[in-house]
Amino acid sequence: MNPKIIVVDFVTSVKGWYRSRGTLFWSLAFPIMLILIFGAIFSGVGETKYTLPVQDLDDSTWSHTFVDMLSNISVLKVEEVSADKNITAYIKEEDFMGALVIPDGFGETINKSFVDKNVSFNVSFYYDPSESSVSVLQSVITSSFQEFNMRLSGGHHIIGVNQVSTIGKKFNYIDFFVPGMIGFTLMQTCIYGSIERNTKYRKDGILRKLLTTPVTRSEWILAKMLFMLFLSFVSTTVIAIVGILAWGLTINVNPVMIIIIIANSFLFSGLGMIIGRFVKEEETADMAAGAISFPMMFLAGTFFPLQQMPAFLQSFAQVLPLYYVNEGLRNAMIYLDFDKAILNMIVVIVFAVVFFVIGVLLTKWRED
Amino acid sequence: MVEKTVSCPSCHEISTFYGEPGEVKKVTCPRCGTLGKVTFAGPISTDGVAIEVSHLKKVYGNLIAVNDISFSIKKGEVFAFLGPNGAGKTTTVEIIESIREPTAGTVKIFGKDISTSFNEVKEEISILPQEFHSFERLTVRETLDYFSKLYKKRANIDEIIETMDLTSHKNMLYRNLSGGLKQRVGVAMALVNDPEIIFLDEPTTGLDPKARREVWEVIAGLRNKGKTVFLTTHYMEEAEYLADHIAIIHKGKIIAEGSLDELINKYGEGSILHIKNCSTENAIEMIKERGFDAYREGNGDIAVRIEYKERVLEVLSILRHDCVDYDSIDIRRSNLEEVFLRLTGSRLAEDET
């Protein structure tokens, strides 16, 4: 192994990259554009009708009156949830944006309020902040309580809403989207970069030329992987900075996130090598890469949470490596759920080892 | 006495000069008067074999791409491996370059069997693959630097750039170069490790005549530096112009091998004297009566086969003595095209289709 050769090849790759407008666009400008566009689209637009599960633990005349009032709001479809259900689990299982829980004591507090105007009581609104339209539901519920308070006491604050995120902290869609965008961009960069080296370089005779020079295949692959890692970290940094500046994202940089990015580079470079081995024409290989990466982009929870997809697609997503990259990055960078992040990271590492080893074994410089 | 045909570096006039084997002679271009030196091919060095190929065979399924071929190339030779597309040229050269595995046979470079010792000869060889395109977004200088740094033995890049006449293009991106310049860069890349053997696979395919001529001059320069050049080509004139040693491959087998003179003497038809616009009706009969093989060509000219150059005067004497009326005459020597035609029954161009 000659480190000088590795450095020379790495520097050459970087030069070629920054001189290529197309590559710069796809690895940096395109993801930035998507973040800005998707962030803008999903910041304020919602559905026309929202299902609101309501768990009435009070079961009093007042709570019934309040639920009836909610039912009469045109944009809401109220669905009653039995008292024995765990509401957080229920939201996740049934794929709801949020649910309202009316605790025991609701009716009693209202009755007291006719005597003592200083009493107050909170109902709880459990919600999934990563849902893009949850803010609409929140404002509908807040307005409903304001109207209810108005009717009861002429505006005095008796009933309030205690908002409870189902994932512990208030997140919005862009928090969900940016890690997905990083995962997707790195996947594209590594797959297409790897395919270019294994098809275009073969067609152009570069691999044949290299075979007759003292550079070894392992030195060359190592140099290319260093370059892929460089690209991955540059893309991640740029996307994260745009997320922070444009959407006020809070990103946590930690070893789990870095390991996932490294493993991701090996994983998709390996996948690119495998595609490049079996589909030798550059254009066809690009199409094959598109046929694999584009469905994966949609099915692996890059743009939309898996919960919005039919159950069979959700099961399918669980075999896609990008799903674990996206989830791992979200859990490590944003949600700080390290138990899940480490689990995702392990799955990504296993995928990376399998794909990269197969890719290296299949990559040949020699012709048949 | 040996002959050497060279192109004038100033006006590109092609002239043939004669000298003793190994002689370096001062010559003057008959057209523009430019002075220069010509080195006549010396007696082929017997002190070393650069490449030795023995009973090489390559089979793909039912197709025998290379069929038991053997040849050897001496140090300092320009060896032209000539044949139509699909004859097995590139397969053979890529086996010698260790890019492909042979089905059978051995290849030795400087006496080392490449199946076991290829790494030991990598510093001494360099290749320009067929249809080669380098890194598009590196400049000429950066490209040469990159490939140079892969070797321990390095030539001076500035000298290579100057020799290849790339000085004014050294800061241009490879992608912006013309086809001829790209090929020149390809050859320059093959020199960065100052190799002893340079493999050039179809270096002029797809180039216009001017660019082709430029690449020929570069290859001729390599020979003058004593390098061994393995040139694969399907252009007869390229082999005629450049090669010291030619092997013709057809359908996977070598059908003829030797110097240009040897091939033409052995397989050619001598020289043909063409009599243009001859209006004397019985001219052919008159020439035939004197023992010459004469016939009318498709364009109406009369062709007379000349086995020895001294007999040209005899034909001219017949024409003058019998008052044969004609516009002009010219003499053409047999060429590789005719050798190929005679050996295979088809023209090289026909075989490519």
Query: pLDDT over 70 for what percent of chain A?
Result: 91
Reference B291, options B305, B277, B280; nearest CA is: B305
User: How far, CA to CA in Å, does A283 sit from each of A26, A286, A290, A362, B32?
Assistant: 17, 5, 11, 20, 51
d(CA A97, CA A137): 8
> How do residues B63-86 score in pLDDT, each as one tens digit?
999 999 999 999 999 999 988 888
Residue with tokens 């050769």: A5
d(CA A276, CA A284): 9
Find the mean pLDDT for residues A316-345. Answer: 89
Both B236 and B136 in one domain: the answer is: yes
Both B23 and B82 in one domain: the answer is: no
Q: In B, which residues are within 8 Å of A210 by CB distance?
A: 150
Mean pLDDT (chain B, rounded): 85
Both B150 and B90 in one domain: the answer is: yes
CA-based end-to-end distance of chain A: 26
B138 touches chain A (CB under 8 A): yes
Both B216 and B250 in one domain: the answer is: yes
Q: Is residue B345 part of a domain?
A: no
Q: Is residue B161 part of a domain?
A: yes
Shortest CA distance from A12: residue in chain B: B146
Give helix B179-189 / helix B209-224 axis angle, nearest 10°: 20
Both B226 and B85 in one domain: the answer is: yes
For the whole model, what pTM was predicted? 0.70
CATH of A46-165, one of 3.40.1710.10, 3.30.460.10, 3.40.50.2020, 3.20.20.80: 3.40.1710.10
**Interchain proximity B99–A8, CB inside 8 Å:** no
> How do residues A115-166 score in pLDDT, each as one tens digit?
777 788 888 888 877 665 677 777 778 878 777 777 777 666 677 777 666 6
Provide ipTM, 2 decimals.
Answer: 0.75
Q: Please report which helix (H) or strand (E) contains residue A145, including its range.
A: helix A134-153
Both B109 and B144 in one domain: the answer is: yes
**Interchain proximity A368–B60, CB inside 8 Å:** yes
**Interchain proximity A367–B99, CB inside 8 Å:** yes
Find the mean pLDDT for residues B22-38. Answer: 80
> How do residues A173-206 score in pLDDT, each as one tens digit?
788 888 888 998 899 889 888 888 888 888 888 9
d(CA A363, CA A270): 10
Among A36-40, A63-67, A357-361, B276-280, the range scoring the smallest mean pLDDT is A36-40
Residue at which a domain ends, from B206, B237, B265: B265
Q: Which domain does B289 fall in, by range?
A: 270-333
pLDDT value at position A209? 92
Distance from CA of A201 to the nearest CA of B (A): 8
Q: Where in chain A is the domain with CATH 3.40.1710.10?
A: 46-165
CB B107 within 8 A of CB B96: yes
Encode burial over A339-362: b for 16+ CB neighbours within 10 A, e otherwise: eebbebbebbbebbeebbeebbee
Q: How many domains does chain B have?
A: 3
Looking at the predicted structure, is the pLDDT value of residue A169 above 70? no
B271 touches chain A (CB under 8 A): no
Q: What is the CATH number of the domain that holds B317?
A: 3.30.70.120
B325 touches chain A (CB under 8 A): no
d(CA B260, CA B239): 8
Q: Is residue B13 part of a domain?
A: yes
Max alpha carbon distance in chain A (Å)? 95
Both B114 and B255 in one domain: the answer is: yes
Instruction: Using alpha carbons only, give the angle B93, B96, B101 rounded to the nearest 5 degrees.
Output: 100
